[in-house]
Amino acid sequence: MNVDEIVFLLNEIYRERRYASNVIHNPSYLHLLALQLPWYLVAENIEKINNPEERAYLRTLEEQYICDYIARQLSSLNLHQKNEIGPFEKAVYCVGLLHNPRYSEIRFFYHLSSIESALSEHLNAAGVSFDHRSWESILTMLPFIGSHTARVRAEEIIRHLNLFIFETLGIGWDENCFFEPASHAVQSFLEGENRKGIPISLSAFYIILAQRLKLPIYGVNTPRHFLVKWESESVEIFIDPSSGGRIIPRASIEYLLQQQNYPLNRQYFESCHYDTIIRRMLSNLSVVALRTGDGERAAYLEHLTRALPD
């Protein structure tokens, strides 16, 4: 669709506003939404409109449009799984749009691919003989090398992964940043100097990088403090990305759960699907919205949660 056609639709949205009390019932708005144009492209075309009153009205649609756009994106993704990373990356990108709706998808994946390449170089330079088939090869050899050797190998890779993410990139947890929207967005880790996040966003980034390298690292939906773990046929290693990738014994997690009066449910130790991670990211943002008195934004976030496929 060319610029003239987009501007025409925007003009029609403005003209039809008098016939629809809610923009979601506006036919031209629904047509524009069906084109799946990100807001930054819509916003560029709004500025091409001459009528200042029309521009002002269309700008007020930003939050509604972003919410509807993200809802459509999330509803189309297969997130009820944990091994095909592409849909999860797209969902994480969409959550980040709630913080910065003008951050383009091209920019997101360009920086992600650049970081992945740098991580591969880091592993090679560190003497970790690693390629996308290495861990599968180790699993094949388990009957001959034993699970202890496999665990040592896994811990070595985790150590170098941690060095790259938390020291080279300078990513980390700031306990005081929960109410800062940027800390919930993985986009914040891709460039810039202040690369601070919360446990769930740090874990999402950790999972993406690891799974891009075909490492068996998944999310673990532990209460209050999200974790990840290395999970393979004979190796289970719990990792806390919010403390620099520290390895945590299972017994320590059990102790913390008991101290916080949580039952030792199996679900708190099993790897979870991507949709569980996205739901928790949206839930955290809902908490922020409610505690800051933004009921409208909390309603948008509830709408996004409902958009996720069951």
Range from 28-32, 43-47, 232-236, 273-277 carrying the lowest mean pLDDT? 232-236
pLDDT confidence band for 246 (50 / 70 / 90)? very high
Range list of β-strands (E), 45-84: none
Place of tokens 């459509």: 72
Q: Above 60 in pLDDT, residue 262? A: yes
Query: What average pLDDT does this structure show over 113-132?
Result: 82
pLDDT per residue as tens digits for the range 157-180: 999 999 999 999 999 998 889 999
Structure tokens at 38: 């990100």
SS3 224: coil
pLDDT confidence band for 234 (50 / 70 / 90)? confident
pLDDT of residue 125: 86
Structure tokens at 21: 């009390």
SS3 238: strand
Q: Above 90 in pLDDT, residue 111? A: yes
Q: Above 50 in pLDDT, residue 142? A: no
pLDDT of residue 140: 52
Structure tokens at 98: 């709630």
Place of tokens 């994106």: 73
Q: How many residues does the chain have?
A: 310
Structure tokens at 42: 């819509």
Rounded to 5 degrees, what are φ and ψ at 149? -65, -40
pLDDT of residue 137: 54
pLDDT of residue 150: 82
Contacts of 223 (CB under 8 A, 6+ apart): 257, 260, 262, 268
pLDDT confidence band for 80 (50 / 70 / 90)? very high
Beta bridge partners of 271: 220
Q: Domain residue spans in the chain?
A: 3-60, 82-307
Q: Above 60 in pLDDT, residue 195? A: yes
3-class SS string, 80-123: CCCCCHHHHHHHHHHHHHCCCCCCCHHHHHHHHHHHHHHHHHHH
pLDDT of residue 19: 85
pLDDT of residue 144: 45
